[in-house]
Structure 1
Amino acid sequence: MSTSRFGAGGGSGSNSRPSSKDGPKKNMWSSMLDSVANGKRLPEKNLLILGGTPESQREFLNTFSADTTGSGFKNDKRKGGAPPVANQFALGYTYLDVLDADHEDTLARVSAYLLSEPSLSFAPLLKPLLTPQSVPETLVVILLDWSDPWTWVRRLREWVRLLRHVLVSLDDPTKIVMEETMTEWRDRKRGMDSGAAGAQGLASSGGPVSIPLGPGEWDEGLGVPLCVVCQGADKIEKVEKEHGWREEEFDFILQFLRTLLLKHGASLIYTTPFLANSLQSLLHSSLGIHSLLKRQSLKHNVIDRDKILVPANWDSWGKIRIIREGFDMEGISTAWSIEIQDPPEPLPKGPVSYPRDDQQDPSMDDGTSAVTIFEQTIKDPKRDTSLAVASQQNKDNIEVETTGLQSFLEKQLEVLEQLKAEDEQDRSTRPAPQLEMSPMDDSGRVNEHIGPVQFNMGGIQVDADDMLRKLKEREATRTSQRKETISSPGDEKAHNQALKNFFAGLVKKPSTSPRESPST
């Protein structure tokens, strides 16, 4: 039956061109192909990475795309290496493919947009990234670093100001989608484990219920999910040793950040390079990326100071308050809501100069400012002006400013070189000391003290002084003869005659051998 229908439809055979009667069949195949293509199309997610340096941004991307399975296996898709990262100027870009646990299936493609400075001039670059289609699939990540924790709240404030400036300028359809996205985040608690969310979202009767918001929660929703990543947690010990920080300072920073992020419904995590952490699980959960083979759990951690993890919708004022008593969450929360209304200000390139007690920060309202409160407690060690101001006002203080070891040694070397030069100049101008009497000139006195010097040579006792005198006499004789020879080179005959007489005398000298007898 199928053959006859195919022949009727095809006319002259299988190689013939389809007629107009095949229109519905062609449309059916097109729809089937489109449905297959849509099924193979990768889910597209967006990461908007704000803050950090080009190096720290690359470090974040490496941590996000690292292989956490521990198998070390990489498929053909990763043999070509990671895609290039263009983040040196203005708005950077790269992309990442999120692979499943077996590295065979690609779960999603993440487009990462990177920006380092919270300047209003970059706002037109961020606006096209937020559309009704992209907002539900977008996560904003703000990078901070443990190399300068005293700047965190100021940096966070400027980035929130820039985001608010961009979001307010969007069109109405995008704002509607943003409101729906925030409602979904707030009600469904997507930042938590599904089991925990289900346990809190179901009443005893089994039906869904709405959980009322606590104080300070979701007061300032930004319209897009937010995650703050504090990189370089391995530097905590260095900060503690070099700056003398105690647990009070670290608890204060944690309480401050959690209070601010609670207002935006944001998550918080501390990361350490080259060490396993929950960054991937947190970002995948925030972007709605779920593995088909392995269920990744996301558990909070507020105990280990270098592995802090606070998922979205988990925190509350009650949990923040128990860290350390005396923390004013109400005042900080109110001050933050006031400060973020202003447009962003340029971040200082160097250390921040803190106002004195008799000066007022321009950003303060009614005498309070969240940034000022934070920076007065967590001070930049390089610009701690409190001691400097006190030393200027009080001349009788006991503080002594010391120099570095190398500087001290350089100054001492200069002093030693100067003293050496003065000594040499003294020796050159001072006359040489004259001795009243040299011991060698008065041999009589010496002989009186030490007596004659004698030694044994081949069994014969020899007087050293007598031998020295004879050697000197012979040397003097040779010298005089040499001078005579040089002074009268023409008198060769007399010289030869003297030598002849000398040798003739030696020959004629009578023998004293005991073998000779008087008779011979």
Structure 2
Amino acid sequence: MNKSVLAQSTTEINTDDHLWSNLLNGVSRIKKAPSKYILLLGGGNRNAREWISSLKQAAIGVHTGRSFKENKEEIDSTYLMDYTYIEWMDQDQGERLAVIEVYLISERHVSCESLLLELFTQEFLKNCLICILLDWRNPWKWLEELYSWINLIRKSIENFKSLEAGNRVISDIIATWEHKIRTYSENAPWVSHDTNRNDQVAVPLEIGQYDQPLGLPFICVCNHSEHMLSIEKDELLKDEHFDFIQQFLRTILMKHGGALYYTSDLYPNTLNNLLYSILDCFSFSPQIYMDVNSPPKANVIDGNQIFVPPGWDSWGKIRIIRDGFDVERVAKAWDADLNFNTDKNKTLNSKKIFEEMIADCRKNDIFDISETNDFVTTIPYQEFLLNHLNIIETKLEAQENVPEDRINIANAYVASPQLNVGGIKLNAEEVDEKLKKLRDTRSESNSPVLTPEKCYKSPLKAISPLPAKEQNEVLANFFQSLLNRKKAGE
């Protein structure tokens, strides 16, 4: 090969390598937008998708100033898990500042546990926030829903801890979240989680605070708080009931290090407060992403705009809402329920306490036929179909095994068609035989036979009548057969 050609080829290769290295170095200098994850549980399929759409529009509104009701995005629904994301953009530079990926499991399913086991990785859990969504249109079922989802989280975390390095990852997450709770200060400016822990003042945990950690940061959102007015108007619940529900939820959430938020599209500040807390949980500076200088104040007075950030609550603050609430009894009942997962026939202790105060008046409805207060355990879908298939096959076998003699007996007893002419019962088959004999008799003669078919097809003048003697014999025989039939019937 020519040396000049070889040298030229080598130069081109070196130039290409230099070009790619420059491109890769340039891309590596670009700051990658950090990704965080929200696992949204509950709320029902439609309600969960509508709520996350409102939250996305609220995130857009903090930058553009638009109302979050404008151009509400529709999230496609799938069989079990939905997916979307919330992004914060730099309007000046047009760059993406941060991305929060949202995974939605709106309804409990038999395969949820295995699905979460696939979803839970070290990277996912280190940057994940659990959000349980409740709906004010059905507050009577909140305790069942809360227990079901929390129990699912606990089982999924235990499954992850059995994997290699799983226990260490969960322990680090619990320690980080506990530090956040202990260093919470309502009046202090926002402080990054990356700040040296020695520079922050950590207070001891309150009684009943974070003594049952789930293993992940946890918040609870009660959506459609505007329905509290209609519930009160219909006299289903009163002020003391709303206070009891708030106290009950706060007692449970305190034990798991959770936070409580009431949200509604009619109160945009509720979504903004929630966004602030979400950014704070992910160590995103709210000053940058929301352009706020101070954190929002906790609110437990405005009944439909409750805002309890993580680390703020205590038993004393819960008791002061309304006298008579036994916070210690509720906490012990919830502990007993969490340690009791095997006997599905026993009613939960916390549920008894909840229903003593929050009775579902809708049970008097004629359409409500439920007679048990126990939790309903759903049958797996495939098991239900298998049972139904067995029932169908049993019915088909019973039909195929009918004895042939029964079928023959049934056919033998099929009655011949009967006629009634002038009060005289006639057998249609016998009449037909008589008419055939008449036709045969006439066919023997050369005279045309008078039949209904020929009456319509031939003109009357073409028909020649029978002789008088033969005609009389035919008529006499016919009426004689009728009389004989009548006598036989008598």
Same fold (TM over 0.5): yes
Based on CA coordinates, which of the two structures has the bigger radius of gyration? 1
Match of 1:318 among 316, 325, 331: 316
1:285 equivalent in alignment to 2:285: no
Q: Distance in 2 between matches of 1:19 and 1:53?
A: 59
TM-score (norm 2): 0.62
**2:357 matched residue in structure 1:** 377
1:195 equivalent in alignment to 2:191: no
* Aligned pairs (5 A) from 1:291-306: 291=286, 292=288, 294-295=291-292, 297-306=295-304
5+ unaligned residues in a row in structure 2: which ranges?
1-5, 369-490
Residue range with higher mean Cα deviation, 236-245 or 26-35: 26-35
Deviation (angstroms), 1:97: 1.9
Deviation (angstroms), 1:72: 4.6
Deviation (angstroms), 1:52: 1.0
Contact in 2 for aligned 1:187/1:211 (Cα 8 Å): no
**2:243 matched residue in structure 1:** 251
Q: Distance in 1 between matches of 2:63 and 2:101?
A: 25
Match of 2:43 among 26, 49, 52: 52
**1:231 matched residue in structure 2:** 223
Deviation (angstroms), 1:284: 2.0
From the superposition, tell whether residues 272 and 207 of structure 1 become closer, same or farther in structure 2 (CA, over 3 Å): closer
Amino acid at match of 1:377: M
From the superposition, tell whether residues 124 and 27 of structure 1 become closer, same or farther in structure 2 (CA, over 3 Å): same
Structure 1 residues 392-425: Cα deviation after superposition (integer angstroms, max 9, x where no partner)? xxxxxxxxxxxxxxxxxxxxxxxxxxxxxxxxxx
**1:62 matched residue in structure 2:** 53
* Aligned pairs (5 A) from 1:49-448: 49-66=40-57, 67-69=60-62, 71-72=64-65, 85-100=75-90, 104-170=94-160, 171-189=163-181, 195=188, 208-276=200-268, 277=270, 278-291=273-286, 292=288, 294-295=291-292, 297-343=295-341, 362-364=346-348, 369-383=349-363
Amino acid at match of 1:160: I
Q: Distance in 1 between matches of 2:77 and 2:56?
A: 17
Amino acid at match of 1:261: L
Contact in 2 for aligned 1:191/1:285 (Cα 8 Å): no
Structure 1 residues 408-457: Cα deviation after superposition (integer angstroms, max 9, x where no partner)? xxxxxxxxxxxxxxxxxxxxxxxxxxxxxxxxxxxxxxxxxxxxxxxxxx
Deviation (angstroms), 1:69: 3.4
Contact in 1 for aligned 2:225/2:264 (Cα 8 Å): yes
Q: Specify the SS of the correspondent of 1:125.
A: helix
Contact in 2 for aligned 1:119/1:344 (Cα 8 Å): no
Structure 1 residues 101-133: Cα deviation after superposition (integer angstroms, max 9, x where no partner)? 769442222221111223342111111222111
What is the percent sequence identity of the aligned residues?
Answer: 30
Cα RMSD between the aligned structures? 3.5
Contact in 1 for aligned 2:220/2:260 (Cα 8 Å): yes
Deviation (angstroms), 1:303: 1.0
Deviation (angstroms), 1:335: 1.3
Structure 1 residues 344-389: Cα deviation after superposition (integer angstroms, max 9, x where no partner)? 999xxxxxxxxxxxxxx7134xxxx11121022111111169xx9x
Contact in 2 for aligned 1:191/1:286 (Cα 8 Å): no
Deviation (angstroms), 1:282: 2.1
